[in-house]
Amino acid sequence: MDLTRRQQMAIFLTVVLTAYILTNFYLWFKGRRALSGAGMSTTLYNVVFISLASTYILGKFLEHSYSSLFTDILSVIGGFWMAFMLYGFLAWLTADILLLIQKPFHLISPETLPKLRLWLFAGVTSGIILLIIIGFFTAISPVTSRYVIETDKKFAGGSEQLRIVAVSDIHLGSVIRKRSMRHLSEMITRENPDLVLFLGDIIDGSIGPVLRGDLLSSLQLPDLRYGNYAITGNHEFIGDLHKSIPYIESKGIRVLKDEVIRLDNGVQIIGRIDRTAMHTPGSKRTSLDTLLSGIDRNAPVILLDHQPYDLAALAATPVDLQLSGHTHNGQMWPINLITDSMFELSHGHRMFGKTHVIVSSGFGLWGPRMRLGTRAEILSITLKGRSE
């Protein structure tokens, strides 16, 4: 039996919430056991833990109906707490496994266990706080990743190259705000592009914080020979698509919704609606074959598709370059190991036949404002055509 989108979302939220509660209970128990075993009061610990564990869910719940500075603060703190959960779970699970392995050999006497647990609690907590600080500074220091892509197709009008800046996964909202947009503006301007492309997830989720601060107004693009275009990502669907797209377009960014456009230099850009549309009532996604049916196969073709699926199939198409995002390259180790296994290409550049594919790790982030083992980035691409 096929499930409706609402049923799928209910199941997903139930699973996520259950995992969230169980992980927090595990961490709470480990901390409480360490403190009480050392004869210390756990009252303050309980209050602080429950308060921190509630911030993210409470912030996101309130954000949809009452966006304010308070909900922004809750979301930021809650994001960092999610990182604490991830690394706390991994650290304590590792410690528990090691303690279990040593048990038959009696390497640690029962008398020393309470003191060891207290030291583990202090060490794990301090270590994770240090990781969060490092990850925060990494997250707010995006880099520019540069690529030179060559095609054997000829540009119209004698042009031999096109300078492109592509930006994915900005995630404007409670965490990514005006200062980040000003930084992004400076990074784009430094590349002196002819064309700017936004690869989906401009909006994080609820559009309330974005509209309240008019956050996209802080993005100032330089004069562009060929303009700027965007596509939808899954987060535009998570929020209110009917508010997100008009807001984005009100800032002079044209959102391509299963459309093909042709630039003055002959380059064709195909902008696909995110694949989330296939599971959203009232939305649909046109097949790639249909979009390709009317193009000029002798002119360069750039395909914009937020989620990098079905990449091998591109080898049989006239697409010269596909640009995608979505994966964040995992954002934090070891999640990047999971995204590497989920996608044919989760980050970087690879060729599928004659089609170049570049997947960006994204400028922004989801959840905690931190990155470990990955970098935030924009793409600066020089597309070169055949000169004769």
Q: Are residues 68 and 167 in the same domain?
A: no
The token duo for 112 is 């020393």
Parallel, antiparallel, or unpaired: how do β-strands 143-150 and 161-167 relate? unpaired
Q: Are residues 302 and 197 in the same domain?
A: yes
Residue (of 302, 221, 223) closest to 261 by Cα position: 302
Q: Are residues 86 and 231 in the same domain?
A: no
Q: Are residues 376 and 258 in the same domain?
A: yes
Quote the pTM value: 0.90
Q: Are residues 338 and 198 in the same domain?
A: yes
Q: Are residues 152 and 199 in the same domain?
A: yes
pLDDT per position as a tens digit, 99-134: 889 877 777 778 888 899 999 999 999 999 999 999
The pLDDT, as a whole number, for residue 6 is 64
pLDDT in tens, the chain (388 residues): 455 556 666 787 788 889 999 999 999 999 999 999 888 999 999 999 999 999 988 888 888 778 888 888 999 999 999 999 999 999 999 999 998 898 777 777 788 888 999 999 999 999 999 999 999 999 999 999 999 999 988 888 766 789 999 999 999 998 899 999 999 999 999 999 999 999 999 998 888 889 989 999 999 999 999 999 999 999 888 878 888 999 999 999 999 999 999 999 889 999 999 998 887 777 889 999 999 998 989 899 999 999 999 999 999 999 999 999 999 999 999 999 999 999 999 999 999 999 999 999 999 999 899 999 999 999 999 999 876 4
Q: Considering 104, 138, 172, which residue would you say is the last residue of a domain?
A: 138
Residue (of 372, 364, 379, 27) closest to 180 by Cα position: 364
The pLDDT, as a whole number, for residue 23 is 94
Per DSSP, which regions of 65-175 are E strands?
Answer: 143-150, 161-167
CA 255/CA 246 separation, integer angstroms? 9
Residue (of 199, 202, 151) closest to 173 by Cα position: 202
Number of domains in the chain: 2
Domain that holds residue 210: 143-384
Which residue is it, tokens 């060490």? 123
Is residue 185 classed exposed, middle or buried when 0-12, 13-18 and 19+ CB atoms within 10 A define those classes?
middle
pLDDT per position as a tens digit, 224-273: 999 999 999 998 888 788 889 999 999 999 999 999 999 998 899 999 99
The pLDDT, as a whole number, for residue 312 is 94
CA 373/CA 339 separation, integer angstroms? 13
Q: Considering 84, 104, 138, which residue would you say is the last residue of a domain?
A: 138
Q: Are residues 296 and 148 in the same domain?
A: yes
The pLDDT, as a whole number, for residue 60 is 82
Q: Are residues 105 and 158 in the same domain?
A: no
Q: Packing angle between helix 113-139 and helix 69-102, nearest 10 degrees?
A: 140
Q: Are residues 121 and 150 in the same domain?
A: no
Q: Are residues 245 and 320 in the same domain?
A: yes
What are the DSSP calls for 1-19, one per residue? -PPPHHHHHHHHHHHHHHH
CA 72/CA 323 separation, integer angstroms? 31
Q: Are residues 190 and 266 in the same domain?
A: yes
pLDDT per position as a tens digit, 40-69: 999 999 999 999 999 988 888 888 778 888
Is residue 243 classed exposed, middle or buried when 0-12, 13-18 and 19+ CB atoms within 10 A define those classes?
middle
Q: Are residues 181 and 321 in the same domain?
A: yes
Classified as helix, coil or strand, 384 is strand
